């Protein structure tokens, strides 16, 4: 079995007869190996270049992050923050490349160690490999350090967006109260507001899946003895209206409200629901309770 040196195909016969695949044929006996072969420097050059390019990219990113800070200072804290910012910016480019080059450079240097006589620049190769590993470890470490802070900032941004939606809802309800003297009986009544820019319509599309509960003081509707008794006792009766059927008397003025909106899961009744009551955003872990300023019934004195 003969292997063709041109195409690598194996065939039966001699090279003088020609390769069955590419047609190459031997024109003479093989050349003798030279008495002295020069060692190769390609492996060492490749490993050094990989380490230099990675280090240069990381250094440029750190300098760019330092220049974008309010005050350009070379203190330890500023350098650390700049390195974290640079590593985060390079997480999808230099970090995967550093891990890949670390593996390739390690394989090249391992081959140099197996055949030390064939290669030169072992010291340079070790230095390049060390720099490549150092940059890969530094990028991985800095990215890992910044992940909790990035998650915290993302959570703050999400909560700010949720609060903005709740405050926008409160502003729309307050506009309705100032115009009509009462809060709307249902959330869809906000369509009665002027909406030149379409903001109310967009808001209703977002909060349509929520729950709106208006409330009112109806002590003034009591008549006869019940009204007099209510006044003597100082009792204020509160009523909730969740739909228009609960408000059959035109004189009722809705004075308070509570709104519950679904959170990121778009489902009501879960732990991430959003609550606002009378303009006050409540803790997401508890449902809206009665306002602290609401008058409470007092016990009869004996």
Question: What is the mean pLDDT of the segment spanning 8-19?
Answer: 76
Residue with more model confidence, 252 or 84 = 84
**pLDDT tens-place string over residues 112-145:** 999 898 899 999 999 999 999 999 999 999 999 9
pLDDT value of residue 52: 96
Question: Is the pLDDT assigned to residue 25 strictly greater than 50?
Answer: yes
**pLDDT tens-place string over residues 171-220:** 999 999 999 999 998 888 899 898 888 888 999 998 888 899 998 865 54
Half-sphere exposure (CA, 13 Å, Cβ side) for 103?
5
Q: Are 118 and 63 in contact (CB under 8 A)?
A: no
**pTM > 0.85:** no
Residue with tokens 């915290």: 152
Rg (CA), the chain: 39
Neighbours of 298 (CB within 10 A): 10
**pLDDT tens-place string over residues 31-87:** 777 777 788 899 999 999 999 999 999 999 999 998 887 777 778 888 888 999 999
- The C-alpha atoms of residue 296 and residue 280 are separated, in whole angstroms, by 19
In 92-236, the DSSP E strands lie at 211-217
């Amino acid at each position: 079995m003969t292997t063709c040196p041109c195409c690598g195909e194996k065939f039966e016969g001699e090279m003088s007869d020609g390769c069955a695949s590419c047609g190459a044929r031997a024109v003479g006996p093989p050349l003798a190996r030279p008495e002295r072969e020069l060692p190769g420097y390609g492996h060492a050059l490749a490993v050094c270049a990989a380490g230099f390019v990675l280090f240069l990219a990381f250094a440029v990113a750190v300098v760019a992050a330092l220049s974008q800070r309010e005050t350009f200072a070379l203190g330890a804290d500023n350098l650390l923050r700049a390195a974290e910012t640079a590593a985060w910016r390079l997480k999808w480019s230099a970090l995967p490349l550093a891990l890949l080059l670390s593996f390739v450079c390690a394989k090249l240097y391992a081959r140099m160690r197996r055949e030390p006589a064939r290669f030169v620049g072992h010291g340079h190769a070790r230095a390049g490999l060390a720099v490549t590993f150092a940059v890969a470890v530094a990028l991985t470490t800095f990215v890992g350090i910044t992940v909790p802070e990035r998650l915290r900032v993302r959570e703050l941004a999400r909560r700010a967006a949720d609060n903005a939606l709740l405050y926008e809802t409160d502003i729309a309800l307050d506009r309705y109260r100032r115009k009509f003297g009462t809060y709307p009986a249902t959330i869809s009544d906000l369509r009665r507001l002027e909406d030149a820019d379409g903001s109310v319509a967009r808001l209703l599309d977002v909060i349509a899946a929520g729950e709106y509960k208006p409330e009112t003081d109806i002590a003034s509707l009591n008549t006869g003895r019940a009204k007099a008794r209510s006044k003597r006792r100082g009792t204020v009766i509160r009523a909730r209206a969740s739909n228009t059927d609960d408000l059959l008397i035109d004189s009722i003025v809705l004075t308070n409200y509570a709104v519950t909106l679904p959170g990121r899961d778009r489902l009501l009744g879960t732990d991430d629901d959003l609550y606002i009551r009378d303009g006050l955003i409540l803790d997401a872990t508890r449902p809206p309770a009665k306002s602290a300023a609401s008058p409470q019934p007092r016990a009869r004195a004996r």
